[in-house]
Amino acid sequence: MVSVAEQMVAVLRQAGVERVYGVVGDSLNPVVDAIRRAEGIGWVHVRNEEAGAFAAAAEAELTGRLAVCAGSCGPGNTHLIQGLYDAQRSGVPVLALASHIPSGQIGTGFFQETHPERVFTDCSSWCEMLSAPGQLPRLLRVAIQHALGARGVSVLAFPGDVAALSAANPTGSSHFLTEQAVAAPPWSQVQELARVLNAARRVALFCGAGVRTAHAEVMEAAAALHAPVGHSLRGKEWIQYDNPYDVGMSGLLGYGACHEALHAADAVVLLGTDFPYDSFLPQVHTVQIDHDATRLGRRTALDLAVHGDVSATLRAVLPLLEQKTDRSFLDDMLRRHCRALEDVVGAYTRDIEKHLPIHPEYVASVLDEVAADDAVFTVDTGMNNVWAARYLQPNGRRRVIGSFLHGSMANALPHAIGAQLAFPGRQVVAMAGDGGLSMLLGELLTVARHRLPVKTVVFNNGALGMIKLEMLVSGYPESEIDNGDVDYAGIARAMGIPAKRVTEPARVREVLAEALERPGPALVDVVTDPNALSIPPHITAAQLKGFALAASRTVLSGGVGRMIDLARSNLRNIPRP
């Protein structure tokens, strides 16, 4: 007879699942054993279920396919929550298998008792309990299709003893829908969009991750409207490259003239972005285009809401746009953008061969240069987000992923594990902070055990850098942010991972290049300047007051790597009278 656990694994295989991330435990044993005996699917043993959920989130984001993680009853599955929040907010299809205590003990306060069908409701879009064999295979197929259809997290909870029972129904087969329809905007909204854009004298475009398939259309629209193009962090990898209208990024990690362009325009178009920092948006003269109608208008009041896929919407409106003849707004913003970058580029180039500790900006700029053209970068939350935003150059093939919406620490290494397993032949680089890496340090053992060729670059400033900045701008003296002087290279070598510690800037390029070129895993521990912080391009009077009250360290504006070359190139392309 086929068991419930075997039936579950069979359905997962039908959905194309190749691995399940987790930590084994008694209530999960029937599922783990079913995976052991099944073909085409394996168990990835991580050191913490949180890491398993992060790894699944990364796999799902990079492949677009369902990824699966699992946790045993009680603490086992509650560890999943952090990574599941990350997956849910990032909008990627992840299924969590949350096993439960024996069915006859539920409600008695039994050992490790929780209620997973309640615990996971806030970090998922579907969460149900499998309590009898007769609910399969239908309920698991519902869970899978919900994750794929809603692009989010599904959680299937089940008592461990139920998983060991005989299946009640034949498994059969059923097709899972993975490719969704493209939302086309109503024609009336397309016409109104054209009217607004044709009437505006100064148009600015602000792009999020929703422009992933719309690079060509955005460029065509910008050319017709002579519009500067800015972007959010999640939009950067899809729109910054091959972009003669680029004016940088807005927000807390921003740079360049994006903030100025948005506030000087008389028509701002939000393209596929749910940018959460409403204080950086002008709050007037705004049009928003998004395939998810629930996002329209929740960050700013709108003059026009357009429900549709960005690419489809732009293709529909482009024939209706009138070619603008006045380039003065665009050219002014391009000049401001270039000046803004030139003003700060010296922050990481000046005396780099002598500066100790090493500028983290310099490390990020070198990493950008020596990494592969199709590298996948996973980025820890905190100051590494800043360095990635300002130095990693997109080209349409590279990927940069992180906990950009949930903002969890410690995501870079487990994200890299999922990315590397999904793409074993691709270069995967984890940009880890010492604070983040230390939280899930045991996952280096996961990398070592599976011999994953993940390259971990530790920006080791011995402090929680972003928290330090937050304290400064709020007027608080820095407190309890010290991580200590830890030799992460020594720790990695003890785990069986080749590693080097870099304290001199002259060795940065050599050591990074060597680590990226070698087969198998590698770790580079770079001791960086704890005083190298970064401020956004727009800062309030209250924040300035906070700096004046509390800043006893140098606050650098941060460099911008090779973006300065792009900005100067765009200036050279401005037509001359």
Sign of CA dihedral 162, 164, 165, 168: positive
Would you tell me how many other CB atoms lie within 10 Å of the CB of residue 198?
17
Tell if the pTM clears 0.75, that is, is over it. Answer: yes
Mutual angle of helices 187-199 and 310-317, in 10-degree steps = 70
- The answer to whether 41 touches 12, Cβ cutoff 8 Å, is yes
pLDDT band at 330 (very low <50, low <70, confident <90, very high): very high
In this predicted structure, the answer to whether residue 453 has a pLDDT above a threshold of 90 is yes
Mean pLDDT of 197-225: 98
In this predicted structure, the answer to whether residue 413 has a pLDDT above a threshold of 70 is yes
Least reliable range by pLDDT among 453-462, 472-481, 507-516: 472-481
pLDDT tens digits along 157-167: 999 999 999 99
pLDDT band at 222 (very low <50, low <70, confident <90, very high): very high
Better pLDDT: 523 or 540: 523
Q: Long-range contacts for 467-472 (Cβ within 8 Å, ≥24 apart)?
A: 467/382, 468/530, 468/533, 469/383, 469/533, 469/534, 469/535, 469/555, 471/550, 472/533, 472/546, 472/547, 472/550, 472/551, 472/553, 472/555
In this predicted structure, the answer to whether residue 545 has a pLDDT above a threshold of 70 is no
Per-residue pLDDT, 530: 79
Mean pLDDT of 41-61: 98
In this predicted structure, the answer to whether residue 355 has a pLDDT above a threshold of 60 is yes
Better pLDDT: 223 or 553: 223
Per-residue pLDDT, 482: 76
In this predicted structure, the answer to whether residue 35 has a pLDDT above a threshold of 50 is yes
Per-residue pLDDT, 565: 64
- Using CB atoms within 10 Å of the CB of residue 322, give its burial: 0 to 12 exposed, 13 to 18 middle, 19+ buried: exposed
Mean pLDDT of 365-391: 93
In this predicted structure, the answer to whether residue 434 has a pLDDT above a threshold of 50 is yes
* Max CA pair span of the chain: 83
In this predicted structure, the answer to whether residue 549 has a pLDDT above a threshold of 50 is no
Per-residue pLDDT, 543: 45
pLDDT tens digits along 56-89: 999 999 999 999 999 999 999 999 999 999 999 9
Per-residue pLDDT, 569: 57
> Which amino acid is it at 463?
A
Least reliable range by pLDDT among 193-207, 506-520, 529-543, 551-565: 551-565
pLDDT band at 546 (very low <50, low <70, confident <90, very high): very low
pLDDT band at 390 (very low <50, low <70, confident <90, very high): confident
In this predicted structure, the answer to whether residue 183 has a pLDDT above a threshold of 90 is yes
Per-residue pLDDT, 555: 36
Sign of CA dihedral 146, 152, 157, 162: positive
Q: What percent of the chain has pLDDT over 90?
A: 78
What span, in angstroms and rounded, lies between the C-alpha atoms of 556 and 532? 6
pLDDT tens digits along 232-247: 999 999 999 999 999 9
